Structure 1
Amino acid sequence: MLVVACYSAERLLILSFATRMALDLGLHEAFEELTERVAMKNDENLYEVSDHDFEREQDIMRKSRTWFGLLVLEHIFRVDGGKPPGIRLIGNSRRCRILLSHPSSTVLDLRLFSQVELNILRATINDNLGSGTKLDQPGISDFVHEMKIDLDLWFDDWLRIIESSTTAQDEKPYLLAALRIQKCWAEMMLNCKALRAMGVENVAAMSATERSILLTAKSSARRHLRLIILEPEFYLAKLKYAMDFVWAKCAFSFLLLLKLSRLLPERDDEHQELFDNGNSLLHELNKAGSNWRHSGAGNIYLQILKVSIEKYGRTLQESQQPSSGGGSTATSPFWELFDAQADLQWFVPEQFVSEWDFPGLNLFYFPTAWQDSFGDFSLAM
């Protein structure tokens, strides 16, 4: 049921059925029982177990994995899909690391347990920066700083755990690539959700603090895009059967960076670099998606990415055309063009409004001087 939920439009309904079934089977109790057993053995230095006990522990381990898989998926749909809060993990999520020392632990547990911890952090971010947040702007800024530290600690811990693992030699490059990409995504969403909680969408009207958060979000988006195309054999090549959410993330990361690069250009070559990176991303995703289910939702995000890059390329080419006097290219900021806002709004596909709760594509640039002019005009009328 969890696997089906990853690819189905009825994922929330299927997930709710799976949660009810998991509770009826007592899967939520397995982790506590297993950790107690492991702790007792460590205290008493008991490493030999009977065949019956070993079989029982293997069964509990499978139940714990299934429960954690449910928890991770529920948190993804809650944080990134706008699902109402459901499962809450009581206690310290880092306790799941103790299961890595269990005899039946596999290399896949490294991926699963790191995801458990990360998604608990992401759920905390979502709860504190949601629509009903009680934090004021300084409180939001402090919260962002604290969560950035927690994400850094999570990343450093799991980087060390994976690199020191003796059972993950073959999988290590893939695990480390995913770890770095997941950290960038979490930081990007942290800063975008913070901006949304602050309630300012007009980049021109942002305070220094808000602008700093926006630039940090852009930096995370840039690193995210560079990482997923840097070593495609360790990440993008493995997306053939990835859930729709992963394909959506790849498309969104490019669209967000595109919008932020239009709103806050920092270098002369930034737009061309983004266009080249977008083409590299599209090329690798096309390879990963070859012979894939062509009617799947992942193909929709691939098409969104393709059309967006083509439109961006045409816009970029037009902006680089020499003026009629034979001089240099146009130097006016993008937002001063007549159709700038309409052009930016085009990069907000419907899927990122109805399917996923990815903040950031609603940002725009409206010069405050123009607002003052319209205000004066209204008073005169």
Structure 2
Amino acid sequence: MVLVSGWSDNGWLSGGHAVRMAMEIGMHKAWPDLLKRMKINKSVTTAKERQLVISARTWFCLYLFEHQMSYGTGRPAILKDDESIWQCRLLLQHPLAIEDDMRLVSTVELMAIRERVNNNLAPTFDHPVDEHTFNVLREADMEFRNWYNTWDQAFSQKYEDAAFYRQSLQIQHLHAELYHNATALRGIDSPEDMQKMPQAQRDLAIRSIQLCRQILDITVNSPAYREGMKYAVHYTHATATFSASFLLRLSRLFPDQCDIQDIRTLVERLAALLSEVPGQRYALTLQLMLKRFKKRKAGSVSRSPKVAREPHRQLGYPDVQSGNPQHQSHQPISPTYDTPYSAHPPEALPHNAHPGASHQQFPQYQPNADHIWRGFEQTSNEQLPVWLSDQTLGGASFSQNGIDAFLLPTDYLPPATQIW
């Protein structure tokens, strides 16, 4: 369940199931028990001790994934910063610790910091940004910097070639700061809003441009990090996409603070990278944002906001069993355009096929940015969805849906294979 949760587009349900399974067998008690044994010098390498270490390590993974999914979806995390993870770095002193434990516990510590920051900011989400918000973010910035400096030194001392680990730490630090800064930029949806910003909020916006730029620079230019993207959990792909999307939006509001051509090139390179890894949804999101970006730059005229958009069509695969193209299932493929093939009548089927052939014998539907874009090409700015519009920094949608607010909805993708 942990693997399904981390390496799938929607790991919320499988991740929640994994948490419940872990609680059922008492994994949340493993680290407190192990820590007590370590403090009284009872650390041994017996089978029971080994099981405690494995259970503690698994629980740390669950805490980490749970909070990643929370930020990804905007839903509240079930697991909390409590004794089940407190002092987790002491795991590194156990005789059964492994090399990857350093990366695990460092990330758990960062997520615990982020949980505290989010808890302090959450009560303000329904109110205008005020000095309390800025104070929380200033304190968070100090905590993030201390976390990064501590672990950067640790990885540098442990590994002779620590490039990937150090860059991963840096991106985690930058993204944590960016995500929470973004919550304080809600309500900034136009140049007019920008003119009314208090100086502290303007400083956050300019700082966020720098953060996004650094994240993209490492992601697309570091050979070690690019290679690591092939094996990364989906949350890593989602955070990179969020950073690029947010940068495009900020560049529209603060063109004097940006090199527009450089930003466009970075985002194009990230989209290309994501198209090479299991990140189709994320690549399509950026490809569509770039089309929007180019259209705005070209000064194209949008349709009047008073003209209603055509309703999305719910399309499905043809009913191959009957061989009748008029009989279609109700399973949606894309809300904006037709399927790239149609069912053949029985007489038109290849000689080695028959009307009862399975769906697998037909070409797999592949979403295409050009086709999706056609459904929005003449849409006015006011009617564009948040994930495509460069006229908003997320607004209420960001606090409600997290990073998902900036991603292409899964309705535009073929139905995912269910493996559980």
> TM-score over 0.5 for the alignment?
yes
Q: How far did residue 132 of structure 1 move?
A: 5.2
Q: Alignment partner of 1:252: what SS?
A: helix
Q: Is the 8 A contact 1:185 1:220 kept in 2?
A: yes
Q: Is 2:2 the partner of 1:13? A: no
Aligned to 1:236: 226
2-structure distance, mates of 1:66, 1:225: 31
1:157 to 139, 144, 150: 150
The aligned amino acid for 1:75 is H
Match for 2:195 among 191, 204, 224? 204
Whether the aligned pair in 2 keeps the contact of 1:177 and 1:235 (CA below 8 Å) is yes
1:38 matched residue in structure 2: 38
Structure 2 counterpart SS, 1:90: coil
Alpha-carbon shift at residue 360 of structure 1 (Å): 9.4
2: CA distance between counterparts of 1:314 and 1:25? 55
Distance 1:9 1:114 in 2: 25
User: TM-score normalised to the size of structure 1?
Assistant: 0.74
Amino-acid identity (%): 25
Give unpaired runs (5+ residues) of structure 1: 293-297, 320-338, 362-381
Deviations 1:235-293, CA, capped at 9 Å, x for gaps: 222222433322222222111101101101235x7101111212222333334x2xx5x
Q: Which whole-Å CA distance do the structure 2 matches of 1:340 and 1:218 have between them? A: 27
Q: Is 1:256 aligned to 2:246, yes or no?
A: yes
Aligned twin of 2:265: 276
Change over 3 Å in CA distance of 1:359–1:20 after alignment to 2: closer
Q: Secondary structure at the match of 1:83?
A: coil
Change (3 A) 1:244 1:230: same
Query: Higher helix share goes to which structure?
Result: 1
Distance 1:156 1:9, change over 3 A: closer
Choose from 268, 285, 297 the match for 2:274. 285
Q: Please, which of 128, 131, 152 is the counterpart of residue 120 of structure 2? A: 128
Q: CA deviation at 1:145?
A: 0.7
TM superposition shift of 1:160: 1.2
* Alignment match, 1:4: 4
Structure 1 position 106, deviation (Å):
1.7
Deviation at 1:84, TM superposition (A): 2.1
Contact 2:220–2:269 (CA<8 Å) still a contact in 1? Answer: yes
User: Deviations 1:79-102 (Å, cap 9, x if unpaired)?
Assistant: 331122311122596611111122
Q: After the TM superposition, which residues 94-173 of structure 1 pair with which residues of structure 2 at under 5 Å, given as runs?
A: 95-130=87-122, 137-165=130-158, 168-169=159-160, 172-173=162-163
SS of corresponding position for 1:303: helix
Contact map agreement 2:9 2:234 (CA 8 A) in 1:
no
Q: 1:27 to 1:92 in 2, by over 3 A?
A: closer
Partner amino acid, structure 2, of 1:67:
W
Identify the residue that residue 305 of structure 1 maps to in structure 2: 286
Counterpart-to-counterpart distance in 2, 1:141 and 1:92? 31
| Distance in 2 of aligned mates of 1:2 and 1:310 | 36
Partner of 2:256: 266
Distance 2:31 2:134 in 1: 35
> Closer, same or farther in 2 for the Cα pair 1:132/1:145, shift >3 Å?
closer
- The C-alpha deviation readout for 1:115-142, integer Å capped at 9, x for no partner, is 1011111122222222556997111111
Query: Take 2:141 and 2:380, find their aligned partners in 1: how far apart are those partners?
Result: 32
In structure 2, C-alpha distance between the alignment counterparts of 1:93 and 1:341, rounded to whole Å: 49
Aligned partners of 2:205 and 2:259: how far apart in 1? 17
Partner deviation per Cα, 1:175-206 (whole Å, 9 max, x = no partner): 1111001111011012111233xx55522221
The 1:184/1:138 distance shift into structure 2, 3 A limit, reads same
Shift of residue 9, structure 1, vs aligned partner: 5.5
Answer yes or no: is 1:62 the counterpart of 2:31: no
What code does the residue aligned with 1:177 have? Q
CA contact (8 A) 1:193 1:359 kept: no
TM-score of the two chains, using structure 2 as the length reference: 0.68
How far apart, in 1, do the equivalents of 2:252 and 2:379 lie? 9
Question: In structure 2, do the counterparts of structure 1 residues 359 and 188 end up closer, same or farther at CA, with 3 Å as the change threshold?
Answer: farther
Which ranges in structure 2 are unaligned for 5 or more consecutive residues? 300-377, 407-420
Deviation string for 1:194-233 (max 9, x for gaps)?
Answer: 233xx555222211122122222222112211121231x2
The residue type paired with residue 12 of structure 1 is W
Aligned pairs, how many? 317
The RMSD of aligned alpha carbons is: 3.1
